[in-house]
Structure formats: structure tokens, C-alpha cells
């Protein structure tokens, strides 16, 4: 690729964000995902930051306007109606204004806000957001870690953002689907069914939506007997990093009380995270907290341990060896699931494909842990995937074929913020 090629892709990436821009928030892609999604928006802000800082802040400010009184920040905000998506606001039954879903998503926002502040120096906008971010993180610490184990639980696979990862297969198998009834999926009207979660998965997803709705989305009632209560390695790594970034940002802004609170929560999460280590697999894995059972496999979420913070050498060494072995089994890094596992599926959503946003987080973590060459390999592969296939939702690690939605906002954002050498970048910050 020469400079002109990069500049052409920069231009395409910007026009995808503009195409999906609804004014104050950005849809992930038209049709398949027609609302505001939580972690999509946070990551998309990083893309806007390369060409429109004001628009970047606005993306996150809009998301935080949907925060619940409890501190929870919902995974979908239904700012307008759209019949093309299921389950819509009626099925969630949260009775909130604006209408929202009843669950959350990976809290990547504080990390992005820190980057926006470091780039723009806008104290006022950062200061207005950190209280809301602190409240969200505190909600995780109380509602999702009531026993103070230093591990937060998800109550639905959608909260992990990695919907049909094999990690959830066993915990989901205990979910009773007998009352689900009939419903009409919309996702498979937009995308081939062999790229999407199975019917069995969807029944379980809907049973969990119903479970929360029947309890009026009350945190205590849900924590008391949620059929799904799993410490996702990915969300725990992302929250740990977010707490650390929030603490650093609060300190810079002179809010020492908030900085201390975030630091204390980060320390607790750091300790708890070691509970996800598997000697057997030589990596960090998800944990079904109901049954105290660890997942029998690694996923791309395992490498997010590097993004979370410093990984000690006795863990880092075997992890890097394993990561290299994963990479040697595919053409393009990093598959979302173990390519040697029988459940690996190169094109079905989170059961194998490569995702640009996960690659960015892992590369950021590898660089922060002094594995620069590997971080650069991940960037280069992401560049090849996007320049070969286009701005797809995700990519096949074997053939580079694009999968899921096209003209996808967060893929465009990652191109602008990280992959492209010509786009004015927000860069990978040292932390």
C-alpha cells in the first residue's frame, strides 16, 4: 500500500462514520443495528477524535445521558423506533426515558475519555463525564460483585459484547427456555444465519431478557437468582483498565477523592482477576460463578489481560507462547476463539472471526507490556484485512473474507484511530 491508498481508506472510513452518524450518536451499521450501542459508541468516539474532536465528545456524552439512576449504563439506547431490530424496547420493558435495554456492556468508555482528554485538553468536558463514569463503575462493584470477590458478573452473554462465544455454552445450557414462546428474529433477515448465533442461543438470550423484565430489572432481585452469573474474562479486563484510566484522569483533573475510589476498586479487581488464571490452560479464562467452573478454553478475551495492566513474567511467558501458536494456525491475527478447538468456527460471529476492536485492545496491551513486535503484527494483519475485504463487522482469520454487517462504524473508527499511518491518530497511550 502506498500513501495514496491509505488516504483513500481514511476517506472511506470517515464517510462510513458520517453515513452512520445520527447527529449525536452513531449506529454501528444501518439495518442490523439501528440504535446506539454502548461500547460501539465509546470506540467510535476514538475514530471521530482523528478528525472531529467535538463530535467525539458528543458521542460519549449522548451515551451517558441514558445512564440509569443506579449508575448502570445500558447496552442499547433506543433514541428512536425501528421495527428492523429484535428485541426492541417493548421486549426489554425497562420503562426508562429514553427507552433502553436492561443490561450493560464492556465499560471501555473511561479509557476512551482519558484518551480524548489527553488529546484535546478539554477539562470541562472530561470533568463532567468522570462523575458519571465513577457512578457506573461503582454500580459494577456493588450490583455485579455483591460478595466483593474482585470479579464482576455478567447476567447475559450480550453484556460481554461477545455474544455467542463458546465460553457461554455450558453456563447457558442451564437456562430454562420453556416459557420463551414464539418470536421473530430480525438479525437473520439482514445477515446469513450461518454467521449469526444459533436458534438455541437465541432462545436462551430471550429467556434471560424475560428473567430480568419479570424482576423489573432490579439489581438485587437479579443477583439473588440469575440463571446466568458468569465472570467474563473480557469484561473484567476492560473494567480493570477503565478503573485505572479513570483514576489517572481524575488525578490529573484534581479530583483526588474520585481518583482514590477508582484506585481502590482497580486494586480489588486486580486481585480478583488472578482467580481467572487456569494452570491447566496457561491463561486467564471466564468463570461460571454459580458453579465455580472455569471455561475449558481460552478466547481472545484471555489476551485482554495485557490490556488490563501489567502481566507478571511467569504468566506472560506462557501466554505469549500460546498467542504465537494461535497466530501460526491462521492467516490473520487474532481469532476470537482458539483455532485448534473443535468449536472454532471461522465465520460465525464470536466463535472464530477477527474483530478490529479486539485487535486494537490486545495490541494496546501488548505494547504496554513491551511486546511491540507482536503488537505491530496485529496492527499489520488488521490493515490487510480491512484493505482486502472492506470495513466489515469482522473477518475470517483464514481467508480475510468480511462477515456480519458492512460499512461498520467501529471498524472504520479503528482504522482511523490506530491502523492507518496517515490518519491523524489518537495513538496508543502509555499507561
**How many CA atoms are closer than 13 Å to the CA of 132, on its beta-carbon side?**
22
> Which one of 117, 158, 394, 395 is in contact with ligand DGY (CB under 6 A)?
158
Determine the size of the site formed for ligand DGY (CB under 6 A).
Answer: 4
- Beta-carbon contacts of residue 2 (< 8 Å; ≥ 6 apart): none
* 370 is known as an active-site residue: no
Residues 6+ apart with CB under 8 A from 196: 164, 187, 188, 348, 349
In sequence order, the 6+-apart residues with CB closer than 8 A to the CB of 205 are 156, 157, 158, 163, 197
The residue among 187 and 383 lying less far from ligand DGY, judged by its C-beta, is 187
- DSSP assigned state of 194: G
Pairing of strands 277-278, 283-284: antiparallel
- The CB-of-75 to ligand DGY minimum distance in angstroms stands at 6
Q: How far is the CB of 62 from ligand DGY (least distance, A)?
A: 18
Q: CB 86 → ligand DGY: shortest distance, Å? A: 8
Least distance from ligand DGY to the Cβ atom of residue 6, Å: 30
Q: Which is nearer to ligand DGY, 126 or 172 (CB)?
A: 172
Q: How far is the CB of 242 from ligand DGY (least distance, A)?
A: 19
Q: Quick check: 241 binds ligand DGY (CB under 6 A)?
A: no
- CA dist 16 and 263 (Å) reads 37
**Within a 13 Å sphere around the CA of 258, how many CA atoms are in the beta-carbon half?**
24
Q: Which residue is nearest to ligand DGY, using beta carbons?
A: 158
The interface mask with ligand DGY, positions 21-40, x = CB under 6 A, is: --------------------
Which CB, 75 or 268, lies closer to ligand DGY?
Answer: 75
Instruction: Kindly state whether residue 159 participates in binding ligand DGY, applying the rule CB under 6 A.
Output: no
Q: What is the DSSP letter of 284?
A: E
Residue whose CB is less far from ligand DGY, 145 or 163? 163
Asked whether the beta carbons of 34 and 26 are under 8 A apart, the reply is: no
Q: Which of 134, 163, 243, 288 binds ligand DGY (CB under 6 A)?
A: 163
Quick count: other Cβ atoms within 10 Å of Cβ 139? 20
Does position 75 interact with ligand DGY (CB under 6 A)? The reply is: yes
Least distance to ligand DGY, CB of residue 39, Å:
10
Peptide bond into 98 cis (omega under 30): yes
Shortest CB 94 distance to ligand DGY, Å: 14
Q: What is d(CA 2, CA 284) in angstroms, rounded to the nearest whole number? A: 39
Among 163, 187, 219, 243, the active-site one is 163
CA distance 164 to 169: 8
Please state, in angstroms and rounded to a whole number, the distance separating the CA atoms of residues 33 and 404: 11
Q: Which is nearer to ligand DGY, 85 or 273 (CB)?
A: 85
Q: Which is nearer to ligand DGY, 158 or 217 (CB)?
A: 158
* CB closer to ligand DGY out of 38 and 420: 38
**Interaction with ligand DGY in 177-206: which residues (CB under 6 A)?**
187
Set of cell numbers at residue 157? 452473554
Q: In 3-state terms, what secondary structure has residue 234?
A: helix
Is 145 marked active-site?
A: no
What is the rounded (10 degree) CA torsion for 13, 19, 23, 26?
-60
Catalytic pick among 59, 243, 393, 406: 393
The CA radius of gyration of the chain, in Å to the nearest whole number, is 20
Q: Which residues bind ligand DGY (CB under 6 A)?
A: 75, 158, 163, 187
**What is the set of active-site residues?**
163, 393
Amino acid at each position: 500500500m502506498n500513501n495514496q491508498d491509505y488516504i483513500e481508506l481514511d476517506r472511506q472510513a470517515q464517510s462510513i462514520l458520517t453515513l452512520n452518524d445520527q447527529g449525536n450518536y452513531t449506529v454501528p451499521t444501518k439495518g442490523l443495528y439501528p440504535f446506539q450501542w454502548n461500547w460501539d459508541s465509546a470506540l467510535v468516539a476514538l475514530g471521530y477524535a482523528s478528525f472531529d474532536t467535538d463530535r467525539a465528545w458528543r458521542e460519549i456524552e449522548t451515551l451517558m445521558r441514558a445512564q440509569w439512576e443506579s449508575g448502570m449504563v445500558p447496552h442499547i439506547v433506543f433514541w428512536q423506533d425501528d421495527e428492523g431490530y429484535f428485541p426492541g424496547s417493548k421486549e426489554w420493558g425497562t420503562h426508562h426515558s429514553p427507552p433502553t435495554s436492561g443490561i450493560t456492556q464492556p465499560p471501555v468508555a473511561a479509557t476512551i475519555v482519558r484518551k480524548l482528554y489527553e488529546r484535546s485538553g478539554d477539562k470541562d468536558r472530561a470533568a463532567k463525564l468522570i462523575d458519571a463514569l465513577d457512578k457506573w463503575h461503582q454500580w459494577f462493584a456493588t450490583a455485579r460483585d455483591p460478595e466483593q470477590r474482585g470479579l464482576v458478573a455478567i447476567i447475559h452473554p450480550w453484556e460481554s459484547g461477545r455474544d455467542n462465544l463458546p465460553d457461554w455454552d455450558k453456563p447457558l445450557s442451564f437456562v430454562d427456555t420453556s416459557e420463551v414462546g414464539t418470536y421473530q428474529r430480525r438479525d437473520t433477515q439482514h445477515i446469513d444465519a450461518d454467521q449469526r448465533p444459533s436458534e438455541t442461543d437465541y432462545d436462551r438470550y430471550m429467556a434471560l431478557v424475560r428473567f430480568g423484565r419479570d424482576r423489573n430489572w432490579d439489581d438485587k432481585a437479579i443477583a439473588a437468582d440469575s440463571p446466568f452469573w458468569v465472570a467474563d474474562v473480557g469484561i473484567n479486563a476492560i473494567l480493570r483498565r477503565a478503573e485505572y484510566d479513570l483514576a489517572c484522569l481524575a488525578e490529573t483533573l484534581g479530583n483526588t477523592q474520585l481518583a482514590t475510589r477508582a484506585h481502590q476498586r482497580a486494586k480489588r479487581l486486580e486481585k480478583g482477576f488472578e482467580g481467572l488464571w487456569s494452570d491447566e490452560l496457561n491463561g486467564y479464562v471466564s468463570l461460571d460463578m454459580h458453579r465455580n467452573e472455569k471455561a475449558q478454553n481460552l478466547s481472545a478475551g484471555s489476551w485482554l489481560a495485557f490490556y488490563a495492566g501489567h502481566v507478571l513474567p511467569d504468566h506472560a511467558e506462557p501466554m505469549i507462547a500460546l498467542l504465537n501458536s494461535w497466530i501460526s494456525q491462521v492467516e490473520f491475527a487474532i481469532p476470537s476463539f482458539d483455532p485448534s478447538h473443535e468449536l472454532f468456527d471461522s465465520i460465525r460471529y464470536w466463535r472464530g472471526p477477527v474483530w478490529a476492536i479486539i485487535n486494537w485492545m490486545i495490541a494496546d496491551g501488548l505494547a504496554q507490556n513491551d511486546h511491540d513486535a507482536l503488537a505491530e503484527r496485529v496492527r499489520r494483519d488488521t490493515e490487510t484485512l480491512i484493505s482486502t475485504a472492506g470495513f466489515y463487522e469482522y473477518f475470517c482469520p483464514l481467508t480475510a473474507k468480511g462477515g456480519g454487517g458492512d460499512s461498520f462504524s467501529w471498524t472504520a473508527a479503528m482504522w482511523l484511530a490506530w491502523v492507518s499511518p496517515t490518519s491523524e491518530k489518537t495513538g496508543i497511550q502509555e499507561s
